[in-house]
Structure 1
Amino acid sequence: MKRHQHIAFFLTSLILLSSALLAANDEWSIHQDSVENPDVPKGEILTFTFDDSKVFPGTSRKIWVYVPAQYEGTQPACLYVCQDGIKYEATTVFDNLIHKGEMPITIGVFVAHGRLLVEDPETQVDRLNRSYEYDSVIDSYAQFLHEDLLPTIEGMKTSDGRRIHLSPRATDRMIAGNSSGGIAAFTAAFLHPEWFSRVFTGVGTYVAMRGGEQLAGLIRKVEPLPLRVFLQGGSNDNNKDVGDWWMGNQSMQRSLEFAGYEVKHAWGEGGHNAKHATSLFPDAMRWLWKDWPALPQNRGHSGEWYNRSIIPDQPWELIGEGYGFTEGPVVTPNGEVYFNDLRHSKTYHIDLDDRVSEWMSDTQRANGMAYGPDGRRYTLAANVEELWAFNEKGHKDVVAKGIRGNDIAIAFNGNMYITEPVSNASKRSDRSRVWLVRPNGEKQELDYGLKFANGIALSPDQTQLYVSDYDSHWIYSYMVQPDGTLAYKQRLIWLYKKDSEDSSRADGVRVDRFGNIWVATALGIQICDSAGRPRIILRTPNGRVANFCFGGPNLDTIYATCGDKVFKRKVKSIGAQAWQAPIKPKQPKT
């Protein structure tokens, strides 16, 4: 009995000792730059309630605006945004560091989360928007800052009449936050690097709460952005049903390093609070603002797939703009490109010097195009439900009727595969069709059932047909049979999608000679291996892409139709053309 009492006493003592050590490990010294200095000029803090949001209608929140003493009001100042109000003794730190010349003159905007206030607080509770605004991996909060709050602050005046001017340049802007405010900071910069370039997060909520656990995977796939990121985390942080905060922060750090970002981290043994972050905040600010006003640079992606597909120093180039809605790009046998403007029913031609000219007007809302083995360019004219073929001189033949086609792929044997997402102009059907049109014009329905069949492409060896389903996040694969029909339909590719969308908006599909499948989606062009796994996501400059093709004399340049614009970019991959003889790619290992 006494032995059991001794064991119990020992275990109790061990628990108390562990708790004491944990408390000691969560105590952090106060940085000297976090202490007010009577010899340092102090900035002014303006406060107001903001309740006029269009992004989060009905919400009310408190806002604090810090204006440093050194700000004169004649030039735009740098911007620092922080969620959950004033944290990390930030205003004192800014006083000291700006006074020392160790960070630029910066206006701080400290934002409380939104609340929808009830009429009777005695019997009713407010609707709190914190998790929705901060934890969601969507750009609503960034849009709130950009469209609602910052324009309101722009033009405000200090008590002595200095008008606030905020720099619009990303290199002059930082965003920060703790816990859910931390993931909100990173998400805002990751989705809108044109608005923010520097990020500080403490014990960030990178867990399965509203999709935060997906960020570490996306970072590895999305082309590196001009961001500099500081992460703070602790080994005694939350470990709950939604995930492990400590492991989530480490996954973020590993992913950012893998993708070549400028990233620095500070790990400790603390819990879910701002103590450690506050103690290191002044030094983190020095690092985040180093080399300012230069934009942060990444050191190069270390991923195998990125380096085999992308040329980092070959950026996107604008080819043309001012169109209605561009679609259906196709490359000619010599590398020139045609594309359609659906809204204005026109077809345009891009020559080898990237000069754009109108080729045809009144195209009857022509959409997808493809070349056939006979050298003709086939075009789907949606308004008249016809398939046209143009020869080199521009003479048009009607090949088939009765299909309101969206996109087309033509095999080496002349068989034409067409997606028909809707059956008429005024009503969106709940299911779509995939058609086969043989060289003699004979039609055959091959599949019925996709939500919105859109892009279509044949594998390099022409044994598989890939079809994108715009209203889901799937690319379907069919095995092409000797008679041209399809069999063994399956969901092959699981595409990434925006959390704000119910679907990936998968559109144009192309393949390269190595067997990889390239898909235009709302997130960008997703490059997938032949086994169906997304590997790389290429964003376009305006964040839109409906379709694209491999063009140029060597078929190593992407021509992307992006809303009202057309861009091009040279890549390492080489496009496969279905009208040419089939190519056997390497067999995937798994």
Structure 2
Amino acid sequence: MMLPHHRILVLLTIVSLPATSFALGADVPETGKDVPKGVVTKYTFDQSKIFPGTVRDYWIYVPQQYDPAKPACVYVNQDNVQFNAPAVFDRLIHAKEIPVVIGVFVTHGRVKALADSALDRFNRSYEYDGLGDQYARFLLEEILPEVEKKSTSDGRPIRLSKDGNDRCIGGSSSGAIAAFTAAWERPDAFRRVFSSIGTYVGLRGGNVYPTLLRKYEPKPIRVFLQDGSTDLNIYGGDWWMANQEMERSLSFAGYEVRHVWGEGGHNATQATEVFPDAIRWLWKDWPSPVKAGEGSPQLREIIHPGEAWTLVADGYKFTEGPASNAKGEVFFNDIPNAKTYKIALDGTVSLFLPDSQKANGQAFGPDGRLYVVATGTDQVLAYDDGKASVVADGIRGNDLIVRNDGTIYVTNPSRTSTEPSKIWMIRPGGEKQVVDTGLKFSNGVTLSPDQSLLYVAESRSRWVYSYQIQEDRTLAFKQKYYHLHVPDNADDSGADGMCVDRDGRLYVATRMGVQVCDQAGRVNCIIPTPNGKVSNLRFGGENFDTLIATCGDRVFKRKLKVKGANAFQPPLRPAPPRL
């Protein structure tokens, strides 16, 4: 959608001044003599622990209307003072078109060379172009607290709002993707994004954003995009096409997004022209909160609008192994404390086993018993009314699933560099057999709804393997079948526990949240958990329409539109996938 342009003077020359404080806006004709001028002050920061050894300059803009009695809204910009932002803020704050905003303008870091014969290490691409939360943490844990240690030119303390709805972040080129990434990773801290000629290309992984936007459960972010048709087209990608992909993906997922496209190149000319209108739109309706999008059709098939994760219980060391019985009650383990707990249908949590032998993965069988991988004794145990019996010895297992015919499949991950990772099959009579080896770290395991396929997560890669179960219950036709997303700050997906719904979707606990795959092996949706952790999943509740997630020291639940398929029940044949 095109916005009307408000032209303001573009400063083409930046002069380094010895003074650290100066007023801006006098040379902008539209500002007017009656508009109060804010003050911009320059500082240097060289104490970063997140980017150790770096030094950088930053500037703080404080409008005259700022009152320290109320924390101010915040605008953060990468790459110095851009877009004549202080003058624009002077005018828009005076006209009450945006709230009182303190601006923080930050350059990228440099690691200074130890000698004149050597180059500094320039951190711009490293800090700005990469995905992950590192740069957001740098702003939130280091720069913004440093800003609040300062005071205004007339001695007023600087107080910044901590509410993401009160914060906007922007930049140009690599600074633009850095702004978007900060909001993407931390929407609790930044929810309004101004992006000019954004580097959403294959320099450090930014090219995946158009795909992730379509799959992730939408976040409360509002985005303004600007680019021109003669922008860069180089080895890393095509900026012009990448920005259009971003706009289409944001629109597809139902985000609030506006854009201005032009004919310009990789420069700030058009961005400076449209910045006032973009800022007006980004702050529209403030303080009403920025809303999240509706999500993709695939996501809307699964989640209820307005139905979020809720906390079941917390205070554990590490939770794992959720398993649901025929009633829909869910049992989970706190492995380090060697205890098993039960979540009743009314949501109350009670102690089930005071000593679980450090149980990890577990599942109910068709006989109603709870089958458990006991990591403390290298056994598979079965519990009946709280009393254990040994099913198999000598298995250093991780997770298991029990088929409707009583066959048990157990993952046995590698514990040393020389030990092979295994998959065990235990027949109903107790006979055990290794039915596959060779995975780097076999972890979560589950069955397709029709129980003809076994799925095994390989934590140290991006794959979930699929095997066909033969008539003798052995495995055949092994494939790297499910292709998972891997976060930028890791070398693998960290795939762990899994479960399936009755339509054949596979739900995988990963580093990026719950990745929901279709039967054809493709990730359709990604649903993050509240604390960013998840080790295992199971459908529970009276109708098996509540997803239970073990998430580190906490357990969460979320009611969905779909129902889980239980391996202890008769097989279900879902509809074929849409290819």
Q: Does TM, scored on the shorter chain, surpass 0.5? A: yes
CA shift, 1:28, in A, is 9.0
CA shift, 1:308, in A, is 1.2
Q: For each residue in 1:455-500, what CA deviation from the matched residue of structure 2 results, as whole angstroms up to 9, or x when unmatched?
A: 0001111111000011110000011011010011110011001111
Give the TM-score normalised by the residue count of structure 2: 0.94
Instruction: Give distance in 2, aligned partners of 1:429 and 1:41.
Output: 71
What's 1:435 paired with?
424
Matched, 1:404 2:382: no
Residue among 111, 114, 120 paired with 2:106: 111
What's 1:395 paired with?
387
Matched, 1:452 2:441: yes
Residue among 412, 416, 429 paired with 1:420: 412
What's 1:7 paired with?
none
Q: For each residue in 1:204-242, what CA deviation from the matched residue of structure 2 results, as whole angstroms up to 9, or x when unmatched?
A: 001111111100000000011111100001111111111
Is the 8 Å Cα contact of residues 220 and 293 (structure 2) preserved in structure 1? no
Residue among 251, 254, 271 paired with 1:277: 271
What's 1:587 paired with?
576
Instruction: Give distance in 1, aligned partners of 2:419 and 2:138.
Output: 34
Instruction: Give distance in 2, aligned partners of 1:517 and 1:298.
Output: 25
What's 1:545 paired with?
534
Is the 8 Å Cα contact of residues 556 and 570 (structure 1) preserved in structure 2? yes
Instruction: Give distance in 1, aligned partners of 2:417 and 2:307.
Output: 40
Query: Which amino acid letter does the alignment assign opposite residue 493 of structure 2?
Result: S
Q: For each residue in 1:137-193, what CA deviation from the matched residue of structure 2 results, as whole angstroms up to 9, or x when unmatched?
A: 121111111112111112311121111111111100111000000011111111111
Is the 8 Å Cα contact of residues 306 and 536 (structure 1) preserved in structure 2? yes
Residue among 479, 492, 499 paired with 1:503: 492
Q: Secondary structure, in 3 states, of the residue corresponding to 1:277?
A: helix
Matched, 1:149 2:138: no
Matched, 1:313 2:302: no
What's 2:175 paired with?
181
**1:519–1:299 distance in 2 versus 1, CA, 3 Å:** closer
Among all aligned residue pairs of Structure 1 and Structure 2, give the percentage whose two residues are the same amino acid.
Answer: 53
Is the 8 Å Cα contact of residues 28 and 276 (structure 1) preserved in structure 2? no
**Structure 1 unmatched runs, 5+:** 1-26
**1:470–1:263 distance in 2 versus 1, CA, 3 Å:** same
- Aligned residues: CA RMSD: 1.5
Query: Which amino acid letter does the alignment assign opposite residue 219 of structure 1?
Result: L
Q: Secondary structure, in 3 states, of the residue corresponding to 2:146?
A: helix
What's 2:91 paired with?
96
Instruction: Give distance in 2, aligned partners of 1:361 and 1:285.
Output: 58
Q: Secondary structure, in 3 states, of the residue corresponding to 1:91?
A: helix
**Structure 2 unmatched runs, 5+:** 11-24
Instruction: Give distance in 2, aligned partners of 1:496 and 1:163.
Output: 44
Instruction: Give distance in 2, aligned partners of 1:133 and 1:429.
Output: 38
Query: Which amino acid letter does the alignment assign opposite residue 544 of structure 2?
Result: L
What's 2:339 paired with?
346
Q: For each residue in 1:9-67, what CA deviation from the matched residue of structure 2 results, as whole angstroms up to 9, or x when unmatched?
A: xxxxxxxxxxxxxxxxxx99427996443221111212111111111111111011111
Is the 8 Å Cα contact of residues 31 and 280 (structure 1) preserved in structure 2? no
What's 1:529 paired with?
518
**1:220–1:438 distance in 2 versus 1, CA, 3 Å:** same
Q: Secondary structure, in 3 states, of the residue corresponding to 2:90?
A: helix
Q: For each residue in 1:46-102, what CA deviation from the matched residue of structure 2 results, as whole angstroms up to 9, or x when unmatched?
A: 211111111111111101111111112121111111000100000111111111111
Residue among 230, 248, 252 paired with 2:224: 230
Is the 8 Å Cα contact of residues 178 and 203 (structure 1) preserved in structure 2? yes
More helix by share: 1
Query: Which amino acid letter does the alignment assign opposite residue 304 of structure 2?
Result: I
**1:283–1:430 distance in 2 versus 1, CA, 3 Å:** farther
Matched, 1:355 2:348: yes
Matched, 1:51 2:29: no
Matched, 1:135 2:126: no
Judge which range, 29-38 or 398-407, deviates more.
29-38
Q: Which runs of 4+ in 1 moved over 3 A?
A: 31-36, 427-431
Q: Secondary structure, in 3 states, of the residue corresponding to 1:368?
A: strand
What's 2:61 paired with?
66
Judge which range, 320-329 or 428-437, deviates more.
428-437
CA shift, 1:124, in A, is 1.0
CA shift, 1:429, in A, is 5.7
What's 2:371 paired with?
378
What's 1:328 paired with?
321
Instruction: Give distance in 2, aligned partners of 1:429 and 1:28.
Output: 67
CA shift, 1:430, in A, is 6.1
Q: For each residue in 1:316-356, what CA deviation from the matched residue of structure 2 results, as whole angstroms up to 9, or x when unmatched?
A: 11111111111110111101111111121111111011111
Q: Secondary structure, in 3 states, of the residue corresponding to 2:54?
A: coil
What's 2:242 paired with?
248
Judge which range, 151-160 or 178-187, deviates more.
151-160
Instruction: Give distance in 1, aligned partners of 2:558 and 2:418.
Output: 35
CA shift, 1:245, in A, is 0.4
Matched, 1:290 2:284: yes
Is the 8 Å Cα contact of residues 507 and 537 (structure 2) preserved in structure 1? no
Matched, 1:487 2:482: no
**1:470–1:104 distance in 2 versus 1, CA, 3 Å:** same
Query: Which amino acid letter does the alignment assign opposite residue 486 of structure 1?
Result: L
CA shift, 1:422, in A, is 3.4
**1:90–1:429 distance in 2 versus 1, CA, 3 Å:** farther
Residue among 254, 259, 282 paired with 1:260: 254
What's 2:330 paired with?
337
Residue among 166, 172, 179 paired with 2:160: 166
Query: Which amino acid letter does the alignment assign opposite residue 289 of structure 1?
Result: W
Instruction: Give distance in 2, aligned partners of 1:431 and 1:469.
Output: 13
Query: Which amino acid letter does the alignment assign opposite residue 394 of structure 1?
Result: G
Query: Which amino acid letter does the alignment assign opposite residue 451 of structure 1?
Result: K
What's 1:16 paired with?
none
CA shift, 1:518, in A, is 0.8
Instruction: Give distance in 2, aligned partners of 1:100 and 1:428.
Output: 66
Instruction: Give distance in 2, aligned partners of 1:48 and 1:343.
Output: 48
Residue among 21, 30, 46 paired with 2:8: 30
